[in-house]
Structure 1
Amino acid sequence: MSKFNKEQKIEIYRKWKDENISISQLSKAYKMNLANLDYMLRLIDMHGTDILNTGKQVYSKKFKEQAIEQAIFGTKSYVQLSLELGFKSIAMLNKWLREYKENGYNVIIKQKGRPARGQRESEIAQGTGERDPKAERRKLAIAYCERIRKKTAGLGSRKRSEEIAKAITDLRHEFKVSLDYVLEAIAEHPGLPIIARSSYYKIIKRKPKKPKRSKLIAKIKEIFNYHKGRYGYRRVALQLLKDGWKVTEKTVRYWMHKLGLKGIRRNKRKYSSYKGTIGKIASNLIHRDFFAPMPNMKWYTDITEFHLNDEKLYLSPILDGCGGDIVSYSISKHPDMDLVMTMLDKAFAKETALNNCIFHTDQGCQYQSPQYQRALKLQGITQSMSRKGNSMDDGLMENFFGLLKTEMFYDQEYKYHGLQELTQAIEEYIEYYNEERIKSRLKGLTPKEYRNQASINPVF
């Protein structure tokens, strides 16, 4: 947004507010990122045009600490909180959170210029490199918040207390600290749920009830049917453990065999967009090292084809290498540049700060085009391509397409009476895949759960 002066920004705002010109139209007219434009308009709408008068802000350590605490322990989205705090940049809060974790859960305020004579660098950095007891407690409280927030929502008081007690026990073992230490760390953040010391001991002394065989069988059937046969015994066992059942894979495999419940097996068919070398071929920067410790570090895409009643449908998704979640996608009857560029527009509107992202594809004609390569360059994204004839160089994307078609399309074509129904089914599956389908590699988490976790605690 810095390329526009105050008067131009006010002009854009007036067109949106008074002339009812849509954000997407303004984005195209002024060649602005859709998400950044939306943020600017909402910021002016909330604070008035005077917000544009302020120069570069210098924030105190106390202010940063309060903002970071609200982001981690509050319920508001980062965008909403950034708007309320009056940040001009949509990425500022994310940057603070990243620096906060990198610096051992301390807020660092680096002073400009050279340090005064005799003043230690660690003093200027306000604690860099030193073990800060407060930071250790904050780290514990954040870990507790991540474990408990979603699990306790909608539970009764007994179940809620049991989940809290379990989280506290896990943290005692993980951080090797006493119960009092954990309770004190949690109590420093009034918004976090907590139980009394006496209640904790009462809960952990309860003997866990052994599930009756009939209940276990019913639960296995429920999980298998809910996921439409997409779960084999390993994933059913993971879901049972996630739901609190004390079972082993061997037990689940035995009962699924007895009940005749067999997961869907894969079937491979592939669409190829390779038309030879028609543009610039990028180097392979991935080298089959597919996974990333944080979201938006490694992206993958490809186009897959669906044949239905002598008609064709094409899907172009972006898959993130961190948790394997689908960042954005587009569906069309034609595998043209509009399909790919629509997918990119959706991704760029949703995600910002992509300067460190490597975007990997095969050598399809769409990805060799100057239009596609220019769009990546404008976002600061580095392009990567598989070697010719090496499909496994794009193995993560191939794996997703295999899952998608096996679990909702192959041998199920009779369910869809036209491309419209098939499109709806694909959209529903991608939402299910992101939000509900757990993965063994992600330790029983869904791609979205893992993405959220990795955003706070990257796994390096």
Structure 2
Amino acid sequence: MGTRVSYPVEIKQKAVEMKMAGVPVKEIMNELNIKNKTQIDTWVKWYKTGEVHRFEQPVGKQYTYGKGPVYTSELEKLQAENRFLRQQNEVFKKVQGIGKEVDRETAVELVEVLGNTMTVQETCVHLGIARSSYYRWKKDVLKGNLKQYLEKQIGTLCRKNKYRYGYRKITALLRQELCVNHKAVQRIMQKNNWQCRVKLKKRKNTGQPYSVAENILDRNFRSDRPLEKLVTDITYLPFGQKQLYLSSILDLYNGEVIASTIGDKQDTAFVLDTLAQLPLLPENCVLHSDQGSVYTSFEYQEAIKAKGITMSMSRKGTPADNASIESFHSTLKSETFYLNSIDRTTTAIVERTVEQYIHYYNNIRIQTKLNNQSPMQYRQLAV
């Protein structure tokens, strides 16, 4: 460490005069033999803040808490005391409950409010706190405000989507506006019991095989273009006044439900009605189903050939071969009837619930495998 140099008061005053007159710092240092330019900056600061008495301060001497500076006259001392009392009065007007320990939020707010009239150090002196405590508290308050905002946003998204989304999808939605870690989202959702409330229900494999087509799909559920690979199935809707069934056809390209029918009879006419809803299909389109009797019937097979579709069927007792449509039907019931604890309602409500959910599933509900887009958004962007 170098030797600390004590400069006479006259040198300090001369340096300040030259600096205020616009003389370059290097010239001042050379002329007055000053070794460190920061010395000149410090003296100028003292001059501007009215602390010229500090020019006589010995090397290394610092004012400790509770001890004021040495004043050159009684008038200067009175002026400083009046300034201190005015500042203290200004602080007390902002604080409720004088005499009590100030909390960190109030302290941070006060320093910001009084920033135009007082320095951070002066405000901290009146509040009886260290300046380092203020900066630590400020950091904590800012961090706490961000956490509160994030928690509010997560709660809003969970309620908006009726607790159908887990933390991964909530994170994906937040990242459209914020940079957030999925682990933080998961912790907040767990703390507030905002986790996905959907419990997937398995269904039994139904339908008797009559004639079996080859399993062309072979669990290759990926498709590079629309209407290339389709899957279909029937599921039970035992929630109304009578047993209902849902027949649907799903496009593996984007997971969109492109045809659906609700009926009270699980017959060939029922699935033919769903088939008739399909748009114009490209060549080599594959439609995959299970080995249910309605799909192996003569009428259905003739309708398939008329549309130029190649039929594919799952192996017997292997619903995983048609996992995509099985998953959709399970998700539909889990995110509507099971989520809302609907065991028995009217037939009209069951039909309306299914129709509204299919619209929501196609147009609004985001999917991770589609880069957190809905099927309709994914298809439109691809086009």
Q: Same fold (TM over 0.5)?
A: yes
1:306 to 224, 237, 241: 237
Q: Does 2:156 match 1:222?
A: yes
Q: Quick one: distance in 1 between partners of 2:339 and 2:173?
A: 26
Q: Does 2:351 match 1:418?
A: no
Kept in 2, the 8 Å contact 1:361–1:367? The answer is yes
Structure of higher CA gyration radius: 2
Moved more, 331-340 or 296-305: 331-340
Which residue in 2 is equivalent to 1:451? 379
Kept in 2, the 8 Å contact 1:308–1:413? The answer is no
2:227 to 274, 281, 296: 296
- Aligned pairs for 1:30-45 within 5 A: none
Give secondary structure in 1 for the equivalent of 2:323: helix
Q: Does 2:253 match 1:322?
A: yes
Letter in 2 for 1:219: Q
- Aligned pairs for 1:229-378 within 5 A: 229-241=163-175, 243-277=176-210, 280-308=211-239, 311-347=242-278, 351-378=279-306
Cα RMSD for the two superposed structures: 2.0
Letter in 1 for 2:153: K
Give secondary structure in 2 for the equivalent of 1:398: helix
Give secondary structure in 1 for the equivalent of 2:331: helix
- Aligned pairs for 1:76-87 within 5 A: none
TM-score, L = length of structure 1: 0.50
Kept in 2, the 8 Å contact 1:355–1:379? The answer is no
Q: How many percent identity over aligned positions?
A: 33
CA deviation map 1:329-375 (0-9, x unaligned): 0001111122211111112xxx2133221000000111101211111
Kept in 2, the 8 Å contact 1:354–1:379? The answer is no
Which residue in 1 is equivalent to 2:370? 442
Q: Quick one: distance in 2 between partners of 1:393 and 1:435?
A: 26
- Aligned pairs for 1:122-201 within 5 A: none
Counterparts in 2 of 1:298 and 1:440: CA distance versus 1, 3 Å: same
Following TM superposition, by how much is the alpha carbon of 1:452 offset from its aligned partner in structure 2, in angstroms? 2.2
Give secondary structure in 2 for the equivalent of 1:409: helix
Following TM superposition, by how much is the alpha carbon of 1:413 offset from its aligned partner in structure 2, in angstroms? 4.5
Letter in 1 for 2:252: G
Give secondary structure in 2 for the equivalent of 1:441: helix
Following TM superposition, by how much is the alpha carbon of 1:215 offset from its aligned partner in structure 2, in angstroms? 2.5
Q: Quick one: distance in 2 between partners of 1:429 and 1:412?
A: 13
Q: Quick one: distance in 2 between partners of 1:235 and 1:267?
A: 17
Letter in 2 for 1:437: R
Q: Quick one: distance in 1 between partners of 2:293 and 2:352?
A: 27
Kept in 2, the 8 Å contact 1:323–1:451? The answer is yes
Letter in 2 for 1:232: G
Following TM superposition, by how much is the alpha carbon of 1:214 offset from its aligned partner in structure 2, in angstroms? 2.6
Following TM superposition, by how much is the alpha carbon of 1:313 offset from its aligned partner in structure 2, in angstroms? 1.0
Q: Give the unaligned 5+ runs of structure 1.
A: 1-208
Following TM superposition, by how much is the alpha carbon of 1:401 offset from its aligned partner in structure 2, in angstroms? 1.3
Give secondary structure in 2 for the equivalent of 1:384: strand
Report the number of matched residues.
Answer: 241
CA deviation map 1:416-460 (0-9, x unaligned): 621110110011111111111111111111111112233x3xxxx
Moved more, 268-277 or 228-237: 268-277
Counterparts in 2 of 1:292 and 1:358: CA distance versus 1, 3 Å: same
